[in-house]
A and B are shown apart, each in its own frame.
Chain A
Amino acid sequence: MTTYILRRILIMIPTLLVISIITFAVIQLPPGDYLTTYMANLAQTGEEADQAVIESLRAQYGLDKPLWYQYGKWIWGVLHGDFGQSFSMNKPVKELIWERLALTVLISLVTLVFTWIIAIPIGIYSATHQYTFFDYFFTFLGFIGMSIPGFLLALILMSLSYKYLNTTPGGLFSDAYLDAPWSMAKVVDLLKHLWIPVVILSVAGTAGLIRQVRANLLDQLEMPYVVTARAKGLGELRLLLKYPVRVAINPIVSTLGWMLPMLFSGSVIVAMVLSLPTTGPLLLSGLLEQDMYLAGSFIMILSTLTVIGTLISDILLAWVDPRIRFERQQT
C-alpha cells in the first residue's frame, strides 16, 4: 500500500510539470507581455509610466530574457507561493485568490457529498426495483438532469425567484456579512446561501451517478453469490448492503477523479450566473482583461487540485477494493 501511494505521488510530479507548462503557455498566449498591458493600462488612466519602475518590473519578471528563463522564474515564484501581480486589481495575485479558491473547493466538496447522499440510495432503489414505475421515473429524471447544464438551470431559477420572490438568490453572503471578518454568524449565513449553488451543481452529477450505481448493481445482482446468500437465508436488506452494494460502490469511488474537474468546471459558469464570490467571476474578468497572472494562477491551482483529487480517489479505491491493492502489489 505504501509503495503504491509513493509511486502514485511520484507519477504526479511530471503531470504537474506538464500542467504548469500548459498554464504558462496560456499566460503567454495573448499578444503582448505583462509590461505592455501594464503600460497600456496606465496610459488609459492618463498616468505616465515611470521609466525606472518599468525597468525594475522588467528585471523582476525577466521579460528581457528568453522564454524558458521566464518560465523558470514564474514557476519558482509559484513554488514559493508568489503567483505574480494582478495589474487589474493592482495587488499580488496571492492576496486575491485563496478565499475564493477555498469557497470553490467548499462548494465542490459539499456538492460531491450531496450528490452521493442523493444518488446512491436512488441508484440502489432503481436497480432493485428494475422496470417499475419509479425506476422509469428516475431514469427519465436522470436523462433530463444530464441534459440541462447547470448555468441554464441557474438562469431559470434566478428569473423564477426574481419573478415570484422579487429577490435574486445570488451571492454566498447576506449584505451584512459581505465584508465582515469570519465569525460563527458568518458561517451560518454562508450555509444558508450555500444550498442553491449546491443543488444546481449536483443535478448533472447526481443524474450520472444514479445511472452508474444502477448499472453496476444490476450486474452484481445477477451473480451466483447473491443467490447463495439468499439461499442460506440472509435477510434481503442486509444481503444487499453487505455484498452487492459493497462491490458496486467501488467504481463509484473512482468517479471522484472525473467528478472533481466537472464540478470545478461547472462551478465556474454557475458562479457567474449566481454571482458567487468564487473563482469563476474573477477568472472570467481576469481573462477578459488579459490579466494573465491572475487567470493563469486559477487554472494552475484548479488543475493541481484536480490531480490531487484523482490521487485521493485512487488511494481510496485501493483502500476499499482489495482486488486492486493485491494486483498492484504483484506487479
Chain B
Amino acid sequence: MSVEPTAIAPPEKGEEKLYLASQWRLMWWKFQDHKLAVFALYVVLALYLVAIFCEFLSPSDPNKRDAKHSFAKPQRVRVFHDGKPHRPFVYPLVQHIDEVTLARTYTEDKTEPQSIRLLPKGDPYRMWGFIPLERHAIGLGDGKRLYLMGADRLGRDLFSRILWGTRISLSIGLCGVTLSLILGVVIGGISGYYGGIIDTLIQRLIEILRSFPTIPLWMALSAAMPATWSQIRVYFCMTIILAGIGWVGLARVVRGKILALREEDYAMAARVAGVGEFSIIMRHLIPGFLSHLIVTVTLAIPGMILAETSLSFLRLGLRPPTISWGVLLQATMNFRAVNLYPWLLFPVLFVIVTVLMFNFLGDGLRDAADPYSH
C-alpha cells in the first residue's frame, strides 16, 4: 500500500523505524494523534472494568431495600465539617414524611459526619457468582449505607444499581455485536466470495431486512418472549434478536471488501496452492480488511446498547429483577416521580456518555485505519 509515512507518524520516531513499522503499528501511532479517541478508549476500558468488577465497586447490594431511604436524595460528599477540613465524608440522611401529601423529604444530620472508607466491610456478595466476599471498594462500613446518586422507590442504592446495570448493558452490546459479526462474516463472505445467484439472493435478503423499521420489528420479536422465561433466557434471546437484524450492515462491509480482494494475486496464489475456500476467506482475505471490520464493529456497539435500553425502557426487553440501564430507566416513565426525584435520570447520563465515547473511539479508529486520510 502506498502510504506517505511522514504524513502519519510522529516525526520523532525516526525515518527507519517508520518504514519498518507494521500496518498495525502505523495505525496505533496515527490513532494516538487523535487525542479525543484515545481519551474515549480509556473511558470505554474503564466502563468495561466497572462491568467486570461491579460487585466489588458498588458500595452496597443493588437489591437491598430500605424503607427508611425510599427516594433518598443523593448524599453530597464533603471535606469540611464545622469549618474544619475533614477526610471525605457524608452526613446521614433523616427522613421526614409530609402528613398530607405523604411525600418524603430528607435533611442532613449535620452533627455526625460519616467518613467514606476504602475497603470497608459491607453487604456480603459473591464475586462473579462464586467467590464469597464482603469488602467493597468504598462505603461507610458498620452497616451504614452510602447513597452517592440517591435511592429508588424501594430505597435501593441507585449508584450500585447503575454499576450493576453496566454489566448487563455493556455485555449485551458486546455479545450482540459478536454474534452479528459471526453472521455478517459468514453470510457476507459467502455472498462476496461465490458471487452469482447466491450473492443476488443474499443481497436481496439484506435489502429487505434493511427496509424494516428496526424498532417495531425488535419490539414485535421481544414481545413474543413469554413472561415466564428466566432472566438468562431472556438475556440470550435479546442478544439473538438484536444480532438477527444487526448483522446486515456487517455483511455488506464484508461482501464489498471480499469482492474486491478475491481477485488479488495473493488470493489466486493461495487458490493455486490448493488452500481450501473457507481457509482462503478466513486466513487470507479477512485479515486484509480486519481494521475496517473493527471500525464497523466499534460503531455498531452503541446502536446495540441503545436498542437494549430502548426495549427494556418500553418493558419489552429485559425485566426486573435483571438490572440494566434500560430497566432502571423504566422508573422515569412517570414524570411526577422524575420531577420530585430528578436523580432517577442518572442512568441517562451513563447511557449518553457510553454511546458518545464509543462514537469518538470508532471515529478515531476509522481515521487511523484509513491509510489515505490525513
Contact = CB atoms under 8 A, between A and B. Distances in A.
A30 B215 contact: no
Given A26-B224, A30-B223, 16 more contacts: A15-B204, A29-B220, A31-B226, A147-B359, A149-B310, A152-B348, A258-B210, A261-B212, A261-B214, A265-B214, A266-B215, A288-B315, A299-B212, A299-B213, A302-B216, A310-B211
A264 B309 contact: no
A152 B210 CA distance: 24
A5 interface: no
Q: Which secondary structure dominates chain A's binding surface?
A: helix
A69 interface: no
A299 B205 CA distance: 18
A273 B339 CA distance: 15
Centre residue among B220, B302, B332 by max chain A CB count within 10 A = B220
Contacts of B310: 149, 151, 269
Interface in A285-328: 287-288, 290, 295-296, 298-299, 302-303, 306-307, 310
Contact of B360 (A143, A148, A310): A143
B43 to A, nearest CB: 13
B5 interface: no
A109 to B, nearest CB: 15
A57 interface: no
Interface of B: 204-205, 207-208, 210-217, 219-221, 223-224, 226, 302, 306, 309-310, 313-316, 329, 332-333, 335-336, 338-339, 342, 345, 348, 351-352, 355-356, 359-360, 363
A158 interface: yes
Nearest to A263: B213
Contacts of B359: 143, 146-147
Nearest to A14: B204
B220 A306 contact: no
Contact of A15 (B208, B226, B313, B315): B208
A125 B166 CA distance: 39
Interface string A164-197: 0000100000000000000000000000000000
A147 B302 contact: yes
Nearest to A292: B220
Contacts of A261: 210-214
A276 interface: no
A274 to B, nearest CB: 11
Contacts of B211: 15, 19, 261, 303, 306-307, 310
A283 B348 contact: no
Main secondary structure of the interface of B (DSSP, over half): helix
* A-B CB proximity, top 9 nearest: A287-B223, A265-B215, A29-B224, A264-B213, A147-B356, A147-B355, A159-B338, A261-B213, A265-B213
B351 A158 contact: no
Contacts of A272: 314
A4 interface: no
A232 interface: no
A268 interface: yes
Nearest to A287: B223
A22 interface: yes
A284 B219 CA distance: 8
Contact of A155 (B208, B210, B219, B332): B332
Interface of A: 14-15, 18-19, 22, 26, 29-31, 143-144, 146-149, 151-152, 155-156, 158-159, 162-163, 168, 258, 261-262, 264-266, 268-269, 272-273, 283-284, 287-288, 290, 295-296, 298-299, 302-303, 306-307, 310
B157 to A, nearest CB: 22
Given A31-B226, A148-B352, A159 B306 contact: no
B356 A143 contact: yes
Nearest to A140: B36
Contacts of B332: 155, 159
B299 to A, nearest CB: 10
Nearest to A168: B335
Contact of B338 (A162, A264, A266): A162
A152 B351 contact: yes
Given A156-B345, A299-B220, A147 B352 contact: yes
Nearest to A304: B211
A26 B224 CA distance: 8
Contacts of A262: 213
Task: Please indicate which of the listed interface residues A162, A268, A288, A310 has the most CB atoms of chain B within 10 Å of its own CB.
Answer: A268
B335 A298 contact: no
Contacts of A269: 215, 310, 313-314
Contacts of A266: 215
A149 B306 contact: yes
B219 A283 contact: yes
Nearest to A298: B216
B216 A268 contact: yes
Given A152-B352, A155-B345, A295 B220 contact: yes
B314 A284 contact: yes
A163 B345 CA distance: 14
B352 A299 contact: no
A159 B214 contact: no
B351 to A, nearest CB: 7
9 contacts: A15-B208, A19-B211, A148-B355, A152-B329, A155-B329, A155-B338, A264-B213, A287-B223, A303-B212
B221 A156 contact: no
A287 to B, nearest CB: 4
Given A155-B332, A162-B339, A288-B315, A268 B219 contact: yes
Nearest to B335: A162
Nearest to B315: A288
Given A29-B221, A162-B338, A303-B211, A155 B315 contact: no
Contacts of A30: 223-224
A261 to B, nearest CB: 4
B216 A19 contact: no
Nearest to B316: A287
